[in-house]
């Protein structure tokens, strides 16, 4: 069967994702759509140059109706965050863009899986599901996967250990109300509190570094895209290859953590060929449970102010 992906949004994240995806899994057809029509034309031509090394793929510019026989539609389109802006500041700007994408994609007859990485990702993932009417397992957001990668890197640097030995996640909103699950984290199978280097002050500094990293990258180079593009690649590859992986993603909450709101939030999630096959309610301390519920409450406040008509 033909493995087809439609990429909507060919900015820095989308372009980098396309390059990563072609190098990590087999894709028979990659269609790139963007409001700036020249960019997918140039990117398609540029990406063709890696085919002798990455394998055969039909890469071409296209439109939303090309989703009709796609396995996955990846949405990176949206106005990027500016210095000093929070991800939630982007809501009103990007909801309109989302509406203009979802309806024509659904109207095309698309019957695959949506993967969303535009910000604020938890809000836009929730709205993608509501606008599309798709089953919740077939709508996925990149959630706190990037935050978690940054946390793992900072802990590894602090302890001078390989990143692969770090087991720690950021949960909740991909934004200001996210939190690090330090109480349940480990490095080389040892709890964090067994490392003398990780004092309360050191952990606070790590939290601060993670929260500020995206803004610093934006200040220096205008956008962040390598990490999130790789997270998208991991998710889409797992779908195409039907290979179950676990990442902290924007997943549909259905009573987990005592949350009653109908929304998507960052939590460990199993993704495979069906989309989201399992939402994992990971163990949290009472303080972390409260942070998770607070994050959901803040997301609900924003969603309550969004009009989909």
Residue 299 clears pLDDT 70, i.e. is over it: yes
Residue 81 clears pLDDT 70, i.e. is over it: no
pLDDT in tens, 201-243: 999 999 999 999 988 998 999 889 999 999 999 999 999 999 9
pLDDT bin (cut points 50, 70, 90) of residue 62 is very high
Domains of the chain: 4-141 (3.40.50.720)
Strands 190-191 and 186-187: antiparallel
Residue 172: per-residue pLDDT? 96
pLDDT bin (cut points 50, 70, 90) of residue 131 is very high
Q: Cα(160)–Cα(162) distance, rounded to whole angstroms?
A: 7
Residue 232: per-residue pLDDT? 98
Residue 121: per-residue pLDDT? 94
Residue 3 clears pLDDT 70, i.e. is over it: yes
Instruction: Compute the residue count for the chain.
Output: 309
Annotated active-site positions, please?
174
Residue 72: per-residue pLDDT? 98
If we measure between CA atoms, which residue out of 142, 141, 257, 195 comes closest to residue 182? 195
Q: Provide mean pLDDT across the span 114-118.
A: 95
Minimum mean pLDDT among 64-73, 127-136, 139-148, 217-226: which range?
217-226
Write down the number of H helices and E strands in the chain. Answer: 9, 14
Residue 92: per-residue pLDDT? 78
Residue 87 clears pLDDT 70, i.e. is over it: no
End-to-end Cα distance, the chain: 37
- pTM across the whole model: 0.94
Strand order in the sheet with 166-167: 166-167, 186-187, 190-191
Would you call the peptide bond into 120 cis, given omega within 30 degrees of 0 as the criterion? yes
SS3 percent helix, strand, coil of the chain, rounded to 5, is 50, 20, 30
**DSSP 3-state assignment of 141?**
strand
What is the residue-averaged pLDDT of the chain?
94
Residue 291 clears pLDDT 80, i.e. is over it: yes
Q: Cα(114)–Cα(4) distance, rounded to whole angstroms?
A: 13
Q: Cα(204)–Cα(190) distance, rounded to whole angstroms?
A: 20
What's the burial of 48, exposed, middle or buried (CB within 10 Å: 0-12/13-18/19+)? Answer: middle
Counting residues of the chain whose pLDDT is more than 70, the rounded percentage is 97
pLDDT bin (cut points 50, 70, 90) of residue 88 is low
Distances (CA, A) of 202 to 7, 158, 196, 209, 210: 40, 9, 10, 10, 12
Residue 276 clears pLDDT 90, i.e. is over it: yes
pLDDT bin (cut points 50, 70, 90) of residue 145 is very high
Residue 194 clears pLDDT 70, i.e. is over it: yes
pLDDT in tens, 89-100: 778 778 889 999
CB neighbour burial string for 93-129, b if at least 16 within 10 angstroms, e if fewer = ebbebbeebbeebbebebebbbbbbbbbbbbbbbbbb
Phi, psi of 84 (to 5 degrees): 90, -15
């Amino acid at each position: 069967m033909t493995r087809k992906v439609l990429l909507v949004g060919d900015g820095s994240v989308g372009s980098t994702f396309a390059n990563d995806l072609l190098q990590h899994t087999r894709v028979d057809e990659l269609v790139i759509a963007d409001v700036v029509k020249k960019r997918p034309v140039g990117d398609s031509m540029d990406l063709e140059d890696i085919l002798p090394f990455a394998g055969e793929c039909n890469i071409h510019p296209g439109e939303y109706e090309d989703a009709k026989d796609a396995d996955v539609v990846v949405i990176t389109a949206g106005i990027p965050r500016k210095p000093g802006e929070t991800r939630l500041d982007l809501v009103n700007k990007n909801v309109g863009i989302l509406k203009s994408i979802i309806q024509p994609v659904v109207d095309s007859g698309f019957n695959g899986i949506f993967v969303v990485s535009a910000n604020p990702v938890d809000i836009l993932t929730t709205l993608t599901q509501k606008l599309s009417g798709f089953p919740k397992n077939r709508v996925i957001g990149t959630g706190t996967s990037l935050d978690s990668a940054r946390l793992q890197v900072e802990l590894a640097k602090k302890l001078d250990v390989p990143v692969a030995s770090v087991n720690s996640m950021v949960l909740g909103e991909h934004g200001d109300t996210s939190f690090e699950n330090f109480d349940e984290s480990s490095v080389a199978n040892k709890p964090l509190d067994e490392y003398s280097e990780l004092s309360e002050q050191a952990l606070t500094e790590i939290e601060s570094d993670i929260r500020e990293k995206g803004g610093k990258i934006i200040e220096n180079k205008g956008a962040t895209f390598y990490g999130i593009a790789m997270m998208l690649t991991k998710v889409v590859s797992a779908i195409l290859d039907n290979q179950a992986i676990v990442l902290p993603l924007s997943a549909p909450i259905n009573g987990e953590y005592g949350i009653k709101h109908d929304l998507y939030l960052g939590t460990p999630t199993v993704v495979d060929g069906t989309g989201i096959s399992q939402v994992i309610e990971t163990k949290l301390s009472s303080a972390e449970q409260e942070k998770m519920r607070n994050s959901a409450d803040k997301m609900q406040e924003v969603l309550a102010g969004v009009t989909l008509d």
